[in-house]
Amino acid sequence: MNILILGSGGREHAFAWKIAQSPLCSNIFVAPGNAGTAQIANNLPIGYNDFEQIAAAVLAHHIDLVVVGPEEPLVKGVRDYFASRADLSHVLMVGPDSKGAMLEGSKDFSKNFMVKYGVPTAKSQTFTKDTLAEGLAYLAAQKLPIVLKADGLAAGKGVIIAQTLEEAQTSLTEMLVDAKFGDASSKVVIEEFLTGIELSVFVLTDGVSYKILPEAKDYKRIGEADTGLNTGGMGAVSPVPFATEKFMHLVEENVVKPTLKGLQAEGIKYNGFIFIGLMNHEGEPYVIEYNARMGDPETEVVLPRIESDLLTLLLATAKGELEQAEFTVSKQHAVTTVVVAGGYPGDYRKGDVIVGYEAIEDATIFHAGTKLDGDLVVTNGGRVMALTGVSNTLERAIQKSQKAAQGVLFDGKYYRKDIGLDVLRYS
């Protein structure tokens, strides 16, 4: 069968890599893909938000299954678009419709959803420009620090953790009145600050049945010891030692089951991934956020630990047959280190030639911001490659990933040398 993956990052390369291992797979297409997906699939020069072109490619290449990587096409309704076209009714898709994607696309929607269906989350209230005065007064009555979240998609930048009342009130005004995050901050969720350890849990669901995929911890800050600016993600590890059996049982009972019940009660037919960002607060899971897709770079450590045929699982997800699908996870440790362009997450250069990675032996290379320039592979984004090491021990997996990150060479390259070390101390 033929598969089309939408997206161009390390996550999409990892999807292609894992799907290519399936005996059911004939051809993989990626739109638009990168230099890594070009080695194992056919890249199509189509943007992932261009639904008409995507539909044309699906028909031209006899695509049976579409796997949506990023959130934007989901929130914009790629599934709804396919459902609206009779000539695409035979095409299967992994990824929720726009209503399901609201779990990620609107923080206000997702908070109301959590409260309505009893999913543990931080106490919050939502304000708009018209209720700015109430918002400022609300802030004055809260404990510090306090969290302000732009309601809509803001490419991971829409969250402010204010340490003082003045900072909180200024931020709220900037978000609501000066449209600091554009339309995304026309509503702002003000949320209690939760202390604890963060981890992410991934659920694959057909709307009724579900499989809980391996959990992961990511490293969001650019600097070592979690300092500096937020990024898309500088590395990830799986498993996470503080995701004990007891804690994961609480996640399943208190978070996963009520979330699925809520989706059903709202009449949302959800076929896809739910990425649940959690805080382990005094041993209890609290939901920080939902995403309607897999994480990047979390996918680069989650998929290498899934032993079952991913394509079979994805087909079962799309068809509503997940209950029967076989699903096993390896006990091995996976660690990924992301090499980024100098300057990222600020301004960075593109077009630098990448060498050295051909000699990497002990790790899997997932391309992210790369493209082909003739025969050369050049940088084409902030996050350039994710290097995943897998081993029986966390220590060895870290070493493999780090050695590979060292081996990738281009001008201005940077990577964090402490990925997984905090977890190693914990375990």
Residues that bind ligand AMP (CB under 6 A): 122, 147, 156, 159, 191, 193-194, 198, 277, 288-289
Amino acid at 180: K
Binding partner selected for residue 122 from ligand GLY, ligand AMP, none, CB under the kind-specific 5 to 8 Å limit: ligand AMP
User: Which pair of tokens denotes residue 145?
Assistant: 């620090």
Contact 379, 410 (CB under 8 A): yes
Residues 244 and 325: their CA atoms lie apart, in Å, by: 25
Residues 195-224 interacting with ligand GLY (rule: CB under 6 A):
218
Work out how close the CB of 71 gets to ligand GLY at its nearest, in angstroms, rounded to a whole number: 8
Q: Are strands 65-68 and 2-7 parallel, antiparallel or unpaired?
A: parallel
Residues 114 and 121: their CA atoms lie apart, in Å, by: 7
Q: 387: which strand partners?
A: 337, 365
Residues 273-292 interacting with ligand GLY (rule: CB under 6 A):
291
User: What single-letter DSSP state applies at residue 300?
Assistant: H
Work out how close the CB of 102 gets to ligand GLY at its nearest, in angstroms, rounded to a whole number: 16
Give 156 or 343: the residue with its C-beta nearer to ligand AMP: 156
Task: Candidates 184-192, 293-301, 356-364, 373-381: pick the segment binding ligand GLY (CB under 6 A).
Answer: 293-301
Residues 67 and 384: their CA atoms lie apart, in Å, by: 22
Contact 313, 211 (CB under 8 A): yes
Q: Are strands 197-205 and 272-281 parallel, antiparallel or unpaired?
A: antiparallel
Q: 235: which strand partners?
A: 337
Binding partner selected for residue 291 from ligand AMP, ligand GLY, none, CB under the kind-specific 5 to 8 Å limit: ligand GLY
Work out how close the CB of 139 gets to ligand AMP at its nearest, in angstroms, rounded to a whole number: 14
Residues 70-129 interacting with ligand GLY (rule: CB under 6 A):
none
Contact 113, 276 (CB under 8 A): no
Q: Are strands 364-367 and 227-230 parallel, antiparallel or unpaired?
A: unpaired
Work out how close the CB of 147 gets to ligand AMP at its nearest, in angstroms, rounded to a whole number: 4
Binding partner selected for residue 32 from ligand AMP, ligand GLY, none, CB under the kind-specific 5 to 8 Å limit: none
Binding partner selected for residue 289 from ligand GLY, ligand AMP, none, CB under the kind-specific 5 to 8 Å limit: ligand AMP
Work out how close the CB of 130 gets to ligand GLY at its nearest, in angstroms, rounded to a whole number: 31
Give 266 or 289: the residue with its C-beta nearer to ligand AMP: 289
Contact flag: residue 151 with ligand GLY (CB under 6 A): no
Work out how close the CB of 16 gets to ligand AMP at its nearest, in angstroms, rounded to a whole number: 26
Place of tokens 């709220």: 172
Contact flag: residue 235 with ligand GLY (CB under 6 A): no
Residues 295-314 interacting with ligand GLY (rule: CB under 6 A):
295-296, 298
If you compute the radius of gyration of the chain from its CA atoms, what whole number of angstroms results? 21
Work out how close the CB of 398 gets to ligand GLY at its nearest, in angstroms, rounded to a whole number: 18
The H-assigned helical ranges of 295-393 are 299-302, 310-319
Q: Which spans of this chain sit near ligand GLY (rule: CB under 6 A)? A: 218, 232-233, 291, 295-296, 298
